[in-house]
Amino acid sequence: MLLDKVNVTFKAGDGGNGKVSFKKIGRGPDGGSGGKGGDLYVVTSSDLTLLNQFSRQDLVVAEHGVDGGNNNRHGKKGNDIEVVLPVGTSIINSETGKEVIELTEIDQRVKLLKGGNGGWGNFEFRSARNTTPMKAQSGFPGETLNATLNLKLIADYGLIGLPNSGKSSLLNELTDAKAKIGNYAFTTLSPNLGVFKNKIIADIPGLIEGAVDGKGLGINFLKHIEKVKVLIHCIDATSDNYKRDYKIVRDELTKYNLEMLKKKEIILLTKSDLVSGKRKFMNSIGVSIYDFESIKNLIKLLS
Ligand SMILES: Nc1nc2c(ncn2[C@@H]2O[C@H](COP(=O)(O)OP(=O)(O)OP(=O)(O)O)[C@@H](O)[C@H]2O)c(=O)[nH]1
Ligand SMILES: [Mg+2]
């Protein structure tokens, strides 16, 4: 199951505390300052399952700075931490609902949160007036972000269509994906991905009339293909009404986001082996997973 929305708290390291200490009682101060807390970075990867790491862990903290010591020893800086997130992740501040950053490219590396500075040791507070300062600072807290991570897949192609129209079967044909296939509606419960010639194809659960209002599995999955360049619209060639099937899915897309209509669309009449003669709907292309030639044609078209 691909997690596409998780809540997690990110925290940079706290600074270490400053130290109060003296070389000898009554002599000069030698309390060192605390080390700075580690920063928290986010880096991106093409592994789209990475949000799953937060199903059991909802707090990620960089290392804290070490407290200052005597003899003017400064505390060690806390190590930075790198959180690897799937490309397409939008990081949202859960408290304000505002987007902090959207990670759109692979191998991006961004400093998200700054570690706190270390507190000064009493050595830093010495002055002509006060040669024996008794105070030191506490370390400063690292920045914290209560985040919602929302994965919008940066897929190039999106397979859409009514349930059972053969979307996952095609994904498996075109890529190394091993999506579950079933002769019933809603076999696919969460998006499947495959890589086709360095491009990502997303196979999403079937849409039905009213999906926008939560019917079937709803339209939540459409966000995964919001950014695709090409929609591959699968219509079952054995259906008795291509126009209706097509319209149901297009209507749901329209209600979701008008931008979806502007995308290039390839219409496939799937399972063409099950119908006799050439069927046609608009500028559709017939395809069957049992007809190698048709798959080859499709590959050419998508390449
Ligand atoms: N004969 C034939 N059957 C096919 C073909 N493609 C898919 N099927 C069958 O159609 C059924 C549905 O296929 P899926 O790939 O699971 O369909 P889907 O669109 O992903 O379905 P959902 O995930 O439920 O939306 C399965 O029983 C497949 O074996 C085809 O080209 N020819
Ligand atoms: Mg499926």
C-alpha–C-alpha distance, residues 223 and 256, integer Å: 9
Give the amino acid at 211. Answer: A
**DSSP of 255-292:** HH-GGGGGSEEEEEEE-GGGSSS----TT-EE--TT-H
Q: How far is the CA of 169 from the centre of ligand 1 (A)?
A: 5
Mention the CATH class of domain 5-151: mainly beta
Q: How far is the CA of 167 from the centre of ligand 1 (A)?
A: 7
Tell me which DSSP letter residue 220 carries: G
Give the number of whichever ligand sits closest to the CA of residue 170.
1
Residues constituting the chain = 303
For a mutational test of ligand 1's pocket, the pick from 162, 167, 171, 181, i.e. the residue with the most ligand atoms closer than 8 A to its C-beta, is 181
Minimal-distance CA residue to ligand 1 atom 26:
183
Pocket of ligand 1 from Cβ distances under 6 Å: 161, 163-169, 181-183, 185-188, 205-206, 270-271, 273-274, 288-290
Give the amino acid at 157. Answer: Y
Domain ranges of the chain: 5-151, 157-302
Minimal-distance CA residue to ligand 1 atom 24:
186
Minimal-distance CA residue to ligand 1 atom 10:
166
Give the amino acid at 101. Answer: I
Cβ partners under 8 Å of residue 72, min gap 6: 30, 31, 32, 121, 123
Tell if the pTM clears 0.85, that is, is over it. no
Tens place of pLDDT for every residue, the chain, 303 residues? 678 899 999 999 999 999 999 998 768 999 999 999 999 999 988 777 889 999 989 999 999 999 999 999 999 999 999 999 988 899 999 999 999 999 988 779 999 999 999 999 999 999 999 999 999 999 999 999 999 999 887 788 999 999 999 999 999 999 888 889 999 999 988 788 887 887 889 898 899 888 888 888 878 788 878 888 999 999 999 999 999 999 999 999 999 989 899 999 999 999 999 999 888 899 999 999 999 999 999 999 999
Minimal-distance CA residue to ligand 1 atom 13:
166
Q: How far is the CA of 231 from the centre of ligand 2 (A)?
A: 15
Dump strand ranges (E) for 87-152: 89-93, 99-102, 109-113, 144-151
* Closest residue by Cα to residue 83 from 67, 59, 105: 59
Classified by CATH at the fold level, domain 157-302 comes out as Rossmann fold (3.40.50)
